[in-house]
Amino acid sequence: MTADVAAGEDGGATAVPARARRRGTGTWYAYLFIGPSLFGVFAFLLLPVLIVLGLSFFDWELLSEPTFAGLDNYRRLAGDGQAWHSLLVTVGYVLLCVPLQTGLALVLALLLNQRVKGVRFYRALFVVPWMATPIVLGLIWNWIFDPRDGAINSALALVGVTGPDWLSDPSWALPALALVNVWQYSGYNMLFFLAGLQGIPQELYDAAATDGATPAQRFFRLTLPLLNPTMFFVMVTNLIGAFQVFDTVFVMTDGGPSRSTAVLNFTIFGTAFREFDFGYASTLSMLLFAVILVVTLVQVRFFSKRTTYDLS
């Protein structure tokens, strides 16, 4: 083995393997390359969370000096029915969005994983909604949901059905917003499922077919288990994104009607930039952060016992 010789404490010589030196140099190179990303994580993720956590212990109206309030904001949160209502609205939105969005994305991926003419065009077509800006998206869907001239109610009228006033009816406003989210992000999530499907060796399907497995058995016993890493990523990102929804609510309903779409992020925005109560808005932000953290940890624990990354 090639070795370099270095002087020891006793004046003797200590053999330092060249491989170990190269490994140490490679480690420093690795830190050098990931340094910008680590800086971004700290500056734009960890540091803002710490700042918001600190602000949650203060009363601050932006133009005045912050005053230390201790746990007063958290005591206020405990009895704030409006905040807990917003959290329930957010949970309802998540339950409407994530299952449908994930299921539709998986179905699209299965359909577009076939060798058919024009498949690349259709793959690109389903991703286009994800690239739409929130303002434009909100304006288009406001017209689609218009109770008199909108596309949905006009289509329903053709079959003799009177459509509801989608965005002005508390019973329909939140499902309508969830539908917009599903439409926008299903194609984007389809790409991840498509990549996961194409990463499963065809030999496994051939072996299962040889053993007499039906298409349904191959899907539930082979495809779904091997898609667990992809499913984990999609579920985590979908849930985090759904809990943080704001732009479509702001553009389309402004939290109405009767606060039926006032998700927690919208309440945080109103508290900070309409009431100028940044201390309490920070407390609400920590509530949202805690909920997302708990949900994410539950998913990590659930998927860690059901995921394999080695297909060899």
Where in the chain are the domains?
15-55, 80-304
Per-residue pLDDT reduced to its tens digit, 58-115: 999 888 889 999 999 999 999 999 999 999 999 999 999 999 999 999 999 999 998 8
- In the numeric block, which tokens belong to residue 168? 């002005």
Per-residue pLDDT reduced to its tens digit, 132-166: 888 888 889 999 999 988 999 999 999 999 999 99
- Map tokens 């939105």 to a residue: 93
Amino acid 312: pLDDT: 54
Residue-wise DSSP of 220-244 = IIIIHHHTHHHHHHHHHHHHHHHHT
Distance CA 49, CA 53 (A): 6
Amino acid 82: pLDDT: 95
My answer on whether omega of the bond before 48 falls inside 30° of 0, hence cis, is: no
Residue 191 makes CB contacts below 8 A (sequence gap 6+) with: 109, 123, 127
Using an 8 Å Cβ cutoff, are 247 and 138 in contact?
yes
Amino acid 114: pLDDT: 86
For the chain, the first-to-last Cα distance in angstroms comes to 32
Give the confidence band of 307 by pLDDT, cuts at 50, 70, 90. Answer: low
Mean pLDDT of the chain: 89
Q: Is the pLDDT of residue 51 over 50?
A: yes
Q: Which of 45, 79, 90, 88 is nearest to 283 (CA)?
A: 79
Q: Is the pLDDT of residue 18 over 90?
A: no
- In the numeric block, which tokens belong to residue 178? 């969830």
Q: Which CATH class is domain 80-304?
A: mainly alpha
- In the numeric block, which tokens belong to residue 39? 């800086």
Q: Is the pLDDT of residue 228 over 60?
A: yes
Helix (H, G, I), strand (E, B) or coil at 4: strand
pLDDT > 70 in the chain, percent: 89
